[in-house]
Chain A
Amino acid sequence: MNFFGPACNYGERGDNLRQVQSDTDTVGRLYGQHAGELYHYLARRCPDAATASDLLQETFLQVVRQSDQLARVTMPRAWLFAIARNMLARHYRRQRDPRPVAQLWYEPAEEKDDRLAVMREAIRSLSAELRDTLELRLEQELSYEEIAHVLDVPVGTVRSRLHNAVRQLRDLMNRPEETKQ
């Protein structure tokens, strides 16, 4: 199944220049559709906007490098998120930062809504795996299959992680006030 439309249906005799132009258009279209959410995803895990911007650029550079595979990609969003996640992991590996990708969570300190503040604290207390899976579902609205592709785990694992995350959040939200930290 081809999600990239006619631009990716190159004929055997299609000349190189046209193909390169077509690849550029396809990557351009992907950039237009997904750069914002990818940037948001990266920005949450980076200490500053410049790093997020660099990683976004690295992500799309990787897409350009793999443009010959575009026609075979069945889940473009999941594919892009997987590349972005790998770029992020590589970045922190180069920085000799031992934290896994999912543990990187930068957010604004101030919070006006109390329940929202408690929820953010509860989300922060989740394990890295659960938090990452939950965020891909609730923020990026990826399907179970897409999340499985991004995290390279079975769909059943994604489902059970999400269920566990929601159960834990419910329990944390229902705890008596004095025990909440």
Chain B
Amino acid sequence: MKPDVIERLLLDRALGCLDPDVDTLLADYLANAASAATQARELQDVVHLARKAVRQPVLAIEPPNQIHQLVWRHRAERALALAASFVIGVGITALALRASLRREDNAVALAPSIQSEPTGSRQQEASVKTKIESLPFWSNQRLYLLASASTADANAKETVK
């Protein structure tokens, strides 16, 4: 067996992480290989001492069981998070409502000045046009309506200018 493979197996064995079947095979091998057996003992001594060194007790205080406190703390945190989300949600909704109400108010305030005038004049023009079309071509009433419509149009253009 290759020395580096043996060393890896011996290290795993010393660390207590060798598969039991492999361990049995390795033990059989070590019974017939003196140098490998010495290496195995050396590694096991090192690991044993290292285990003893790291397992020295530092503090012998056992922590009290605070699991119920922790659960309540967690519940309180969740309740606070929910409350905070609720407050933020309500705040955002209120702001959005306020903004939309303000927009509506502005729209209502602007609507008569911009829209009513052209709509009214257009309706009037349409009704005059319909009336003109319905009259006989050479009738006096039609000529009068045509003349007054063109005068009104000219007046409107002057006003705009």
Interface residues of A (CB under 8 A from B): 20, 24, 27-28, 31-32, 35-36, 39-40, 43-44, 49, 52-53, 56-57, 60-61, 64-65, 106-108, 115-116, 119-120, 123, 134-135, 137-139, 141, 143-144, 159, 162-163, 166-167, 169-170, 173
Are A61 and B73 closer than 8 Å at their CB atoms? yes
Determine if A173 and B65 form an interchain contact, defined as CB atoms under 8 angstroms apart: no
B148 CB to nearest A CB, Å: 81
Kindly state whether residue B47 has any CB partner on chain A within 8 Å.
Answer: yes
Nearest-Cβ distance from residue A76 to partner chain B, whole angstroms:
15
Name the distance in Å between A71's Cβ and chain B's nearest Cβ. 18
Number of residues in B with C-beta < 8 Å to the partner? Answer: 32
Answer whether residue B114 sits at the interface, using C-beta atoms and an 8 A cutoff. Answer: no
Contact at A116–B46, with CB atoms within 8 Å? no
Q: Which of B11, B50, B58 has the most CB of A within 10 A?
A: B50
Q: Point out the residues of chain B lying under 8 angstroms from A39, CB to CB.
A: 59, 61-63
Contacts of A173 in B (CB 8 A): 46, 49
Other-chain contact of B68, A24, A40, A56, A137 (Cβ < 8 Å):
A24
List 14 extra interface pairs beyond A27-B70, A39-B59, CB under 8 A. Answer: A24-B71, A40-B58, A44-B58, A53-B63, A57-B70, A64-B70, A65-B74, A115-B49, A138-B50, A138-B51, A139-B54, A163-B11, A170-B46, A173-B49
Contact A31–B65 (Cβ < 8 Å)? yes
Could you show 8 A-B contacts with beta carbons less than 8 Å apart?
Answer: A32-B65, A39-B61, A64-B67, A116-B49, A116-B52, A119-B52, A123-B50, A138-B54
Determine if B132 is an interface residue (Cβ-Cβ < 8 Å): no
With contacts A116-B52, A134-B50 taken as known, whether A61 is within 8 angstroms of B43 at the C-beta atoms is no
Question: Does B157 interact with chain A (Cβ within 8 Å)?
Answer: no
Contacts of A134 in B (CB 8 A): 50, 54
Nearest A residue to B8, CB-CB = A163
Please name all residues of chain B whose beta carbon is closer than 8 Å to the beta carbon of A141 when the two chains form the complex.
16
Nearest B residue to A139 via CB reads B54
Candidates A139, A144, A162, A170; contact of B55 at CB < 8 Å = A139
**Which residues of chain B are within 8 angstroms of A163 by Cβ–Cβ distance?**
8, 11
Name the CB-closest residue of B to A167: B11
Q: How far is the CA of A115 from the CA of B45 in the complex (A)?
A: 11
Cα A139 to Cα B67 in complex, Å, equals 25
- The chain B residue sitting closest to A57, CB to CB, is B66
Q: Could you tell me if A108 and B58 are in contact, using CB atoms closer than 8 angstroms?
A: yes
Give Cα A169 to B68, complex, Å.
44
| Residue numbers in B under 8 Å from A61 (CB-CB) | 70, 73-74
> A89 vs B53: C-alpha distance in the bound complex, in angstroms?
24
- Which residues of chain B are near A138, meaning CB under 8 Å? 15, 47, 50-51, 54-55
A119 and B53 within 8 A (CB): yes
B56 within 8 Å of A (CB atoms): yes
| Minimum Cβ distance to chain A for residue B65 (Å) | 6
Chain A residues, Cβ within 8 Å of B17: 137, 143-144
Bound complex: CA of A163 vs CA of B63, how far in Å? Answer: 34
